[in-house]
Structures are given as structure tokens and as C-alpha cells.
Amino acid sequence: MAKKKFVLRVDEETMKAVEQWAHAEFRSVNGQIEWMINKCLKEAQQQPLQKRKSEQ
């Protein structure tokens, strides 16, 4: 699956919190943000159809 690049603007305190969380879970900041987005999509039942099928 191709990944799309984009610019994300967040305030400094939020970024520090994400960096600390990523470090604690041995992920890169990018990996942590990707994990957070996927977790939220799954919880909201808004995952892309392709991911839903592969998890069944």
C-alpha cells in the first residue's frame, strides 16, 4: 500500500507528548501517529474496506 505524505501542524506541547509516547512504545513519531490514526479509525468503525477484510 502506497503511503501519502502530508504536512501536519500541531502545537509544541502536543508534539512533545506524542514524542514521549512514541519513545515509551519504541516507535518513531511517524509510526506512533500512524498507529494512533489507525486505532481511532478502527474504534470508530471507519477503517478502509481493505483493512476490514484482512482482519476478519
User: How confident is the model at residue 47, as a pLDDT?
Assistant: 83
Q: What is the CA radius of gyration of the chain?
A: 13
pLDDT of 24: 98
Is residue 50 predicted with pLDDT exceeding 90?
no
Amino acid of residue 24:
A
Torsion of CA 7, 4, 52, 34, to 10 degrees: -40
Q: Map residue 37 onto helix, strand or coil.
A: helix
- Asked if residue 25 lies in contact with residue 14, where contact means CB atoms within 8 angstroms, the answer is no
Mean pLDDT value across residues 42-52 = 78
Here the cell at position 35 is 498507529
Other CB atoms within 10 A of residue 19 CB:
13
Digit-coded pLDDT (tens) for 11-45: 999 999 999 999 999 999 999 999 999 999 999 98
Structure pTM? Answer: 0.78
